[in-house]
Structure 1
Amino acid sequence: MPTYLIVEQLLNGLQFGVMLFLSAAGLTLIFGVMGLINLAHGSLYMIGAFAAAAVAGATGSFVMALAASLAAAAAAGALVEILVIRRLYDRDHLDQVLATFALILIFSEGTRWMFGSFPLFLDVPSYLSGPVTLPGGIQYPLYRLTIIGIGLAIAAGLFLLIARTRIGIRIRAGEADREMIAALGVDISKLYTLVFALGAALAGLSGALVGAIQSVQVGMGEPVLILAFVVIVIGGIGSIKGALVGSLLVGLTDTFGRILLPVAFGTFMEPSAANSVGAALASMSIYLLMAVVLIVRPTGLYGRA
């Protein structure tokens, strides 16, 4: 395989991985701190994408579109936590699954009612369009490099937030012993609303950034939700570091699998059959990766028993 193709696919895998991280980081915070199984997380991703597409269409500003995705997803997340999720913390996980699954249906139909069934399109701004020349003469889309930079910057910001700030200390304490920090005077309800809104905002931003690469449509969040769960299982529930490492592993495994497996099967199969079988196995590769990690470390790479 030529060097330029390896570098290009490596960057594609990194871009896919950091997009997954933005969704998985919020999900692992919610799951780790609140112990809540939130199937509606993908709907918040969708809300961010639709808000960005609507604002970009009305104003022509990509920056305002990203701000709208953060605000809309965070507001929706806070509202859902206050009205619905707050009543589920002491309930069985099955109740949480049923309630958040109902939220998926509500958000999907509500979005279809507001925006229609046809996909929307969010254009890449002119100052981020076109390729950039990397060392070695390799050309790569500037927008995808920007996504990688934004994702890594947010990852660094989350690490600092969790490890170095007073809010982060409370979040970590809430994960370890929520009754104790409540007894020490911390308003656990406000803390949970903040964590949920933060996770929702990250998912919404991820949806907006991806919306400029693919179409924005109802139901776009469900595949991302599945991959985000795979990521937090691989990385370890409640670990931001695990979410980042797991996201990058999944992104690189999926990207290189879609390139290498059809080539490998093409040595002894017809090209059309090799592409079909290779693509199918590439889709399975991330789940095989998850199975291997769970066999070796049942708590995930950075999870705690």
Structure 2
Amino acid sequence: MSIVLILEQILNGLQFGVMLFLMAAGLTLVFGVMGLINLAHGALYMVGAFAAAAVAGLTGSFLLALIASLAAAAAAGAVVEIAVIRRLYDRDHLDQVLATFALILIFSEGTRWIFGSFPLFLDVPAALAGPLSLPGGIEYPAYRLAIIGIGLVVAALLFWLIARTRIGIQIRAGEADREMIAALGVDISRLYTLVFALGAALAGLAGALVGAIQSVQVGMGEPVLILAFVVIVIGGIGSIKGALVGALLVGLTDTLGKVFLPQFFGLFLEPASAASVGASLASMLIYILMAAVLLVRPSGLYGGSA
């Protein structure tokens, strides 16, 4: 086990964690401000990925593809909020779960009808196609480093938006007491639509960025959605800081566990048994992490803070 391998896997974990943050940030905003359980958030991730793949295929521009993913996911999110979600705020969580699960089916079948059942592929931009030489003799894909950089920039912009702008003040106030800010003249419906569209745009951006690493296909958002829920439980519902810290913890735990646990058990077991035991335990690690955090801090690491 070399230092180079460890550092490469740490970078892989950071890249995975940043992608999870883009998903979880929108999810925690929606849940924290609106109190809404949105199972369709993964479908918006898929919308962004398909929009990016379609625009990249037509224009050959990765930048236009990213813009299209943001616009398509935000527009889809705004339409969904106005047409469906707005009617669910005063309903119990079971109604929210059933309605947003129905949206998953609608988005999946609609996407299959438009694009077909075969996966699409989004090429890495030529400027980021090769590896970069990092200190320590590490050759690491430039595109994955770009994902880390984009995610950290988005995190910084979100922190600024929430902490320093009028909209951010309204979002934080809406999380604390929505009736009061409505009484003070804030258009709560417009605020909710904006928050939902922002969360959808972040999910769409995540889908577009990951679409250049894996294939773009129907249903690709649901596994990521499960991990995003784990992230916000660990970080604390409604906390952007918690979403970032939780996402990085989950990304690093999942990546390092899958790579190094089979090697660790290989010191004591036969190779086939070590691979099986290591893979099984690695798949459980993030849930063990979640349980450990909740035992110490039932509201998550940063529950109740922005």
TM-score under structure 1 normalisation? 0.99
| Inter-partner Cα distance in structure 2 for 1:212 and 1:234 | 28
| Inter-partner Cα distance in structure 1 for 2:55 and 2:159 | 30
Instruction: Supply the AA of the counterpart residue of 1:304.
Output: G
Q: Is 1:255 the counterpart of 2:255 in the alignment? A: yes
Q: CA RMSD in A?
A: 0.8
| Inter-partner Cα distance in structure 1 for 2:206 and 2:179 | 33
The equivalent of 1:297 in structure 2 is: 297
More displaced stretch, 213-222 vs 268-277:
268-277
Instruction: Supply the AA of the counterpart residue of 2:176.
Output: A
Query: Secondary structure of the residue that 1:133 maps to in structure 2?
Result: strand
| Inter-partner Cα distance in structure 1 for 2:18 and 2:170 | 26
The equivalent of 2:211 in structure 1 is: 211
Which 5+ residue runs of structure 2 have no aligned equivalent?
none
Instruction: Supply the AA of the counterpart residue of 2:60.
Output: G
The equivalent of 1:147 in structure 2 is: 147
Q: How far apart are 1:277 and its partner, in Å?
A: 1.7
Query: Secondary structure of the residue that 1:303 maps to in structure 2?
Result: coil
| Inter-partner Cα distance in structure 2 for 1:276 and 1:51 | 38
The equivalent of 1:169 in structure 2 is: 169
The equivalent of 2:201 in structure 1 is: 201
| Inter-partner Cα distance in structure 2 for 1:56 and 1:235 | 34
Q: How far apart are 1:268 and its partner, in Å?
A: 2.0
Instruction: Supply the AA of the counterpart residue of 2:29.
Output: L
| Inter-partner Cα distance in structure 2 for 1:178 and 1:149 | 34
The equivalent of 2:69 in structure 1 is: 69
Q: Is 1:126 the counterpart of 2:126 in the alignment? A: yes
More displaced stretch, 264-273 vs 163-172:
264-273
Query: Secondary structure of the residue that 2:143 maps to in structure 1?
Result: helix
Which 5+ residue runs of structure 1 have no aligned equivalent?
none
Instruction: Supply the AA of the counterpart residue of 1:274.
Output: A
- 1:69-108 to structure 2, matched below 5 A, reads 69-108=69-108
- 1:38-53 to structure 2, matched below 5 A, reads 38-53=38-53
Query: Secondary structure of the residue that 2:139 maps to in structure 1?
Result: strand
Instruction: Supply the AA of the counterpart residue of 1:124.
Output: V
Q: Report how many aligned residue pairs link the two structures.
A: 305
Deviations 1:228-282 (A, max 9, x none): 0000000000000000000000000001101221011112222122112211211
The equivalent of 1:117 in structure 2 is: 117
Q: How far apart are 1:115 and its partner, in Å?
A: 0.5
More displaced stretch, 260-269 vs 205-214:
260-269
Deviations 1:152-193 (A, max 9, x none): 000000000000000000000000000000000000000000
| Inter-partner Cα distance in structure 2 for 1:282 and 1:163 | 37
Query: Secondary structure of the residue that 1:132 maps to in structure 2?
Result: strand
The equivalent of 2:34 in structure 1 is: 34
Q: How far apart are 1:103 and its partner, in Å?
A: 0.2
The equivalent of 1:241 in structure 2 is: 241
The equivalent of 1:19 in structure 2 is: 19
Query: Secondary structure of the residue that 1:38 maps to in structure 2?
Result: coil
Q: How far apart are 1:304 and its partner, in Å?
A: 2.7
| Inter-partner Cα distance in structure 2 for 1:37 and 1:239 | 16
Instruction: Supply the AA of the counterpart residue of 2:232.
Output: I
How high is the sequence identity, in percent, across the aligned residues? 83
Q: How far apart are 1:92 and its partner, in Å?
A: 0.5
Q: Is 1:229 the counterpart of 2:229 in the alignment? A: yes
The equivalent of 2:5 in structure 1 is: 5
